[in-house]
Amino acid sequence: MLPRNEMIEMLKSQGAAIPEVKAAAAGPAPQAGEGQVLCRRCGKLAPKLPGPPMRNDFGRLVFENTCTACWREAIGMGTK
C-alpha cells in the first residue's frame, strides 16, 4: 500500500490524472464435495484429512483448510 500511496501523491503533485485500479475478475470458487477440501496452501480441491490432526482449535483449522498431501508435506518438513 505504501508504494501505491506514494505514487498517488507524486501524481497529484505533478497535476497528472490518477488511474483507477480495477479489481481482478475472479471466477466462482470451486465447491468442495464430500471428503474434499479447498486447500488454502495449494489452492486445489483435494482429499480431506481423515480427522483433525490435533485436539485443539489449530487441529480443527488444519482439518478444514488443508489437504492431505499438503499436510503430509508440512509434517515431512518438520522432521528434517
Specify the CATH number for the domain of residue 22: 1.10.3880
pTM, to two decimals: 0.60
3-state DSSP assignment of residue 32: coil
Average per-residue pLDDT in the chain? Answer: 88
C-alpha cell at position 7: 505514487
CA distances from 36 to 32, 50, 80 (A): 5, 10, 28
Domain of 58 in residue numbering reads as 2-78
Give 34-64 pLDDT, tens digit per residue. Answer: 889 999 999 899 999 999 999 999 999 999 9
Give the number of domains in the chain. 1
Residue of higher predicted confidence among 40 and 25: 40
